[in-house]
Each structure stands twice: as C-alpha cells, then as structure tokens.
Amino acid sequence: MPEAAARVPLITIGGFLGAGKTTLVNQILGQAGGQRIVVFVNDFGAINIDYDLVQTRDADRISLKNGCVCCSLNDDFVESVVGFVKQTESPDAIVVEASGIADPRALDSSLAILEAAGMVRSDAKLYVLDAANFQDLAFDDAETIIDHAAVNDIVLMNKSDLVQPEARGKIHDLLAEAAPYSQVVETVNCDIAIDMVFGAAPVSSKITKSSSSELQTPQHAKTYQSWSCEFDGLLDREKFEVFAMSLPGKCLRAKGILRFSDAPDEPQLFNLVGYRATVEPKAQTEASTLIRFVVIGLAETFDAAALEASFAQVVTEKTC
C-alpha cells in the first residue's frame, strides 16, 4: 500500500437540496492557492445543474448524474477516482459534492475501498444544513437531515444570518443531542477557511513558525484562530496521545507531521477533524526532520496559550 502522504486527501460534502453545497465547493476552490482540486458533482436528475456552477476547469470537474454517487453510481465513482490518482501528476485533493438526497453513510463503502487500496485518505466529512429553511421542514425531512448531519465531522449551519438567535439555538440544541461528535460552525454563504476543510495535505505550505497566529483571510480571522509550531525535535508518544484526546471540544481541526522519540526516523501524519483523529506513517519525501503542528478553532473560545503550554509537555527534545 502507498505511504500515507502519497494518498490524495478526499473530502465529502453532503446536504439537503439547496443548502449551499455548491457554494461551499466554490469557497474551497477560491482558496486553493494553486493546488489542483478535482471536484465530483453528483445530481440525482438527468441534467446536472450544479456541474455548470462549479468554478474549476472542465478537466477537473466530473459530473455524476441520473443517480446517486452513494448507490447506483458507486462503481463509476470509484473507477474515476482511481483514474485521477494514477495520473502522472495526481491532484492535490478531491472534493465530492453528493446529491441533495444522498445518505452520507452510503458513501462510506466506496471510501473504504479507495482507502484500502491506498488511493485516498478520507480527510473530512462536511454537511451543509440550511438553517433558514430548517424550521419550516416537515418532521420527517428534519429528522433525516439531523440523522445525516450526525455522521459527519463538521456541520455548517449555513444561512445563519437569516435566522433569529432563538431559532439558531434550537438547532444547536438538536445537533448537540443527536450529533455530539460533530463540530457545528455557523456560516454565511458557506464561508469557511480552507484550513478547516483539509487536513495534513496543505500543512507544509500554510504552517507558520512558532506561537499563535490568525488565519490569513481577514474575514476568517474574526471567526477562527490558530496556533502552530515548527521545530526540530521529538515527541513522547504516550503524552501526545493524551494531548490529542484532549483536543476535541477545544478546537475544530488539528494536523501535523510528527516524530516520536521511540521511532525518530519514522515521521507520522496526524489529522484530527471534529472528534475523529488518525496517526499514520508519512512517506519521507524530504530530508527535513522538522515537527510541524497546527490547531484551528473558533476565535471566541480558542486558548492558544493553553495549547502551547500543553504541547510543550509532550516535547522530549527540541533543537531549534
């Protein structure tokens, strides 16, 4: 199986009809910064309208229409992803916009096949919830949306500017009970920093040296804050595991390239989104021995100083 770093990060975007999934795709593409992102657009109908709304070049925009990517189009989807990953220059990331009627859980089998084959790394599962129209949905539709949201890492409560605080609070309460392991982020026009979406893939280019920093885009700096560090050294594996288990609830995203004292020559790729965390071997594509780590959270609750102090307890050796 290819090493972890050789696998292409893949994110899925779900959400009921009209929630803002295509808007989210375009927000991601607008912040790609030169990265090549292949987008799969799924529409249950014979005409794929969303396909024409995705703002990327035709060669990297794949239409899956007249069926669900999670069921009848499963084989086509898997074969297409394999084709892109095996290209001489594989994409930097893959985004899958599922049909508005798709059950996110049904896509898991395809992702498991692709991950087992060493083709992709399931980086994050996002769900867009239309806060403005949620309160007017029939009971069955509202229950379905909550069920679908609960199996995702991050739930975007979109169009939150169109909803009164009391109504937003009720949605938060519903999600807290039904989706306790999903991170909920209120958004307008699905405006979310790309650092929140992708895991370890962009970390080497976006991480800043030491201490705390805000995300680059001004409007995102008001909502999110990050703490990051970069140094040559080693970490205690058991202490890091304890530290990592303390992160959910304190942040929305954490990612990094790590080296542990019990295996200093085996770099590891760490990725946490919501309450789901992974540590896996990283292919050594460079001679650098630097540890790189970044944590991202909501500005109003983010405590960079506390994170820095906690992480310092994990370090066993630091030479720069």
The confidence band for 320, taking pLDDT boundaries of 50, 70 and 90, is: low
Cβ count near 300 (within 10 Å): 9
Average pLDDT for 308-316: 94
pLDDT at 283 over 80: no
Average pLDDT for 189-214: 55
Averaged pLDDT of the chain: 78
- pLDDT above 90 covers a percentage of the chain that reads 28
Which candidate, 235, 228, 184, places its Cα nearest to that of 208? Answer: 228
Weakest-pLDDT range from 39-43, 56-60, 117-121, 238-242: 56-60
Taking the whole predicted model, whether its pTM rises above 0.75 is answered as: no
| pLDDT of 34 | 80
CA-to-CA distance for 187 and 7, rounded, in angstroms?
30
| pLDDT of 287 | 63
| pLDDT of 80 | 82
Top-confidence residue, 38 or 314: 314
pLDDT in tens, 158-177: 999 999 999 999 999 999 99
| pLDDT of 236 | 96
pLDDT at 113 over 70: yes
Average pLDDT for 94-109: 80
| pLDDT of 65 | 45
| pLDDT of 215 | 44
Specify the pairing of strand 8-15 against strand 93-97: parallel
The confidence band for 190, taking pLDDT boundaries of 50, 70 and 90, is: very high
CA-to-CA distance for 263 and 278, rounded, in angstroms?
17
The confidence band for 284, taking pLDDT boundaries of 50, 70 and 90, is: low
Cβ count near 219 (within 10 Å): 11
Specify the pairing of strand 290-298 against strand 8-15: unpaired
Q: Which of 31-40, 168-177, 242-251 has the highest mean pLDDT?
A: 168-177
The confidence band for 221, taking pLDDT boundaries of 50, 70 and 90, is: low
Weakest-pLDDT range from 42-46, 101-105, 204-208, 288-292: 204-208
pLDDT in tens, 70-88: 444 466 778 888 888 888 7
Average pLDDT for 259-282: 86
- pLDDT above 70 covers a percentage of the chain that reads 77
| pLDDT of 176 | 94
| pLDDT of 174 | 94
The token pair at 302 is 């983010």
